Amino acid sequence: MSFVKGCVQECRQTHAICRQDTHDFVPTRLLHVGLNNEELFICESGAEGLTKPTFTWAALSHCWGGGQPIKLVRDNLSDLHSRVSFDELPSTFRDAIDVARLLEIQYIWIDSMCIIQDDIEDWQQEAAMMGMIYSQAFIVISGASSEEPSIPFLGPRDEDWLPRQFFMTTPTNHTININARRRHLLAAPLEQGLHEPPYTEAWAHDRWKGPLYKRAWCFQETHLAQRTLHFTPGSIIFECRTHRRAEDHLPPDPSLLSPILGQVGDATKWRMVVRQYTSRNLSRSTDKLPAISGVASLLPQAQRTDYLAGIWRESLIHDLLWNVQPQPGEPLSYRGEEYIAPTWSWASLDHAVSWNEFQITALLAEVLEARCEPTGSNRFGQIRSGHIRLRARVRRCKIFWKPERYSYRAYFLDDKGKRSEEKHFTSDGLLVGRRTEQHDGKSAEGVHSFAARAVTSGLPFEGELDAAFVCLAKSTAMSLNHVGLLVTPSVKVKDAWERIGTLLKAGSGWYASGEEAVVTLL
């Protein structure tokens, strides 16, 4: 573990950026581990010694998986304040405690041990502080190679990761020593921390190896950390605000990287964060917003604009133009029955999302109102409802499934009944048809078959369905185009609409022939 101690010591003594800490935040609870084989116990903030800057703590990032042999609940709260049995803790927790003691850190924060698991109010309160807990910890210990708490992350490595040495003789009779292994892991570039100014798209797409990096909850835990020790299947990686080091790799040379790295704005950085986050897995859909609330709460936008179910008010028009991006081998998404977020939010679907690369040259919609109602006190967490009202041009249209192109298409009929050029659009997963009444509901002309997001898996609809295009902006996507949302009438609220996809290459006719209207999106 000399590599671990050396990296931490170097960071603590020589990295000016990593020493910056102006907060006096202390978690509600911490697990006291001491320096040697001392008794473990849960302590509350405000207890003697638990005030900054007189102490530091580590935080554990781990996969839950399987069962939790021991966790904090109301019935054992008093007992765990007195004593926590080291032997009863799962292997991942014991390994994390050993690492903390090695670094002479006497306190550690572990979610299942420091949040009362059967107390919803306590869980909501602590979830709202996740950003501060992980960003203010002295170090985050990432048990990346453990699929569940019962699996240790300290110990012998899998054979595929162990280097093998062999020799080659050149034609000039020189012997070359070669080290190789079946699997490899880059120290950098990797998923980039939010603290690094040159935040780039190329780096954001790379992934570390290990089950932890597939879990959505763990995304913010390592991205917000001042320092992280990643115990991956193939290497220990130390990461801080200054650099990364792996056991068997040199850190990247900033002078080589700087010419290809560029600064990006806050809105772009957030969209890149969402891309990475939504590619990970969640056990419960209701955690979609809470699991990234810590990141959102610490971004600059949080101090100056409203947060609307994963979208920022100041960049709302562009943020609305997300696309579903299924992972390889993943089926088309479908909407669950449980309410998670409004349809215009990427959080409403359990799939990865992305934004197309184009520049908006003019906004063509006006935001009249945008509001979300949280379920608790955390405005970045779970919500119970949300809506936006826009003034925009709306073009009624028809959509259909084109099997030979394996894509959805849209077109409209002009005043003379002439059919426009059909346009490909990206649906929010699988679409189905449903009948709904418009106007007074009495005449046959008022009954339409509209498209809607599917609630369960199935096959695309047959024939044509009604929809509407809400034009939001003019862009440079594939030359100058109009971009916007495809929507369908809401079945729950009269005169309101729900999103079913995006149309990013509409010609000028879609905008020019549309009617200006006030649109309420749910």
pLDDT score, position 120: 87
pLDDT for the residue numbered 182: 62
What CA–CA distances, in Å, run from 130 to 22, 219, 325, 339?
Answer: 17, 12, 28, 23
Same domain, 66 and 214: yes
Tokens of 30: 């911490």
Q: Is residue 278 part of a domain?
A: no
Same domain for 303 and 369?
A: yes
Q: Which uninterrupted H or E stretch holds 165? A: strand 164-169
Which tokens go with 193? 């921390």
- Give the list of residues 6+ apart from residue 496 with CB closer than 8 angstroms, or none: 387, 489, 490, 520, 521, 522
Q: Are strands 311-312 and 322-324 parallel, antiparallel or unpaired?
A: unpaired
Domain boundary among 213, 233, 263: 263
Residue 445: the pLDDT is 47
Is 171 among the domain residues? no
CA distance 31 to 67: 20
Cα-based torsion angle of the residue sequence 464, 318, 481, 450 in order, rounded to the nearest 10 degrees:
10
Residue type, 509: G
312 and 201 part of one domain: no
How far is Cα 80 from Cα 53, in angstroms, rounded to an integer? 26
Threshold 0.85, pTM exceeds: no
| Judgement on whether residues 493 and 347 belong to the same structural domain of the protein | yes
Distance (Å) of CA 1 to CA 8, 100, 313:
11, 12, 47
E strand intervals along 438-514: 447-453, 464-475, 481-489, 496-506
- DSSP codes joined into one string, 10-61: HHHHH-TGGG--------SEEEE--SSSPPBEEEETTSTT-STTS---EEEE
Residue 32 in tokens: 């006291």
240 lies in the same domain as 380: no
Shared domain check, 192 and 89:
yes
DSSP 8-state assignment for residue 483: E
Output the pLDDT for position 41. 92
Range of the domain at 355: 284-435+453-521
pLDDT value for 158: 67
Q: In this structure, are 317 and 257 located in the same domain?
A: no
Among 455, 456, 452, which residue's Cα sits nearest to residue 498? 452
What is the rounded distance in angstroms from the CA atom of residue 498 to the CA atom of residue 491?
9
Instruction: Identify which of 487, 507, 490, 478 has the alpha carbon closest to the alpha carbon of residue 411.
Output: 507
CA distances from 454 to 53, 393, 405, 428, 493 (A): 53, 26, 21, 9, 18
195, 329: one domain? no
Examine the domain organization and report whether 362 and 247 are in the same domain.
no
Judge residue 445's burial from the number of C-beta atoms within 10 Å of its C-beta, 0-12 exposed, 13-18 middle, 19 or more buried.
Answer: exposed
Domain assignment present for 212: yes
How far lies 59's CA from each of 12, 92, 100, 475, in Å? 17, 12, 9, 44
Looking at 263, 296, 324, which one is the last position of a domain? Answer: 263
Domain co-membership, 252 together with 149: yes
Residue 160 lies in a domain: no
Report which of 290, 251, 278, 297 is spatially closest to residue 350, judged by C-alpha positions.
Answer: 278
Give which of 219, 192, 218, 171 is closest to 61, Cα–Cα.
218
Strand order in the sheet with 244-246: 41-44, 29-32, 107-109, 58-61, 139-142, 227-231, 236-240, 244-246
End-to-end CA distance of the chain: 53
Phi and psi angles of residue 316, each rounded to the nearest 5 degrees, phi first: -60, -45
Virtual CA dihedral for 311, 312, 317, 319, nearest 10 degrees? -40
The pLDDT of residue 505 is: 87
Phi/psi for 248 (5° steps) reads -120, 20
Cα atoms in the 13 Å half-sphere on the side-chain side of 40: 23
Whether 246 is in a domain gets the answer: yes
Contact present, 57 and 30 (Cβ < 8 Å):
yes
- Can you tell me the distance from the alpha carbon of 158 to that of 176, in angstroms, rounded to the nearest whole number? 26
| Angle, vertex CA 44, rays to CA 41 and CA 46, nearest 5 | 135
448 occurs within a structural domain: no
Q: Is residue 347 part of a domain?
A: yes
**Do residues 427 and 476 both lie within one domain?**
yes
CA 218 from chain centre, in angstroms, equals 9
Q: Number of structural domains, the chain?
A: 2
Q: Which of 382, 367, 262 is nearest to 316 (CA)?
A: 367
Contact 428, 343 (CB under 8 A): yes
Q: Are residues 359 and 415 in the same domain?
A: yes
Nearest to 484, CA basis, from 513, 507, 463, 466: 507
In a domain, 274, yes or no: no
What is the C-alpha separation between 263 and 474, in angstroms, rounded? 24
Q: Can you say how many angstroms the Cα of residue 480 is from the centroid of all Cα atoms in its chain?
A: 31
From 230, 263, 296, the end of a domain falls on 263
pLDDT < 70 positions in the chain: 20-22, 46-54, 66-68, 157-163, 179-210, 248-264, 326-336, 435-448, 456-460, 477-480
Distant-in-sequence, close-in-space partners of 175: CB < 8 Å, separation ≥ 6: 167, 168, 169
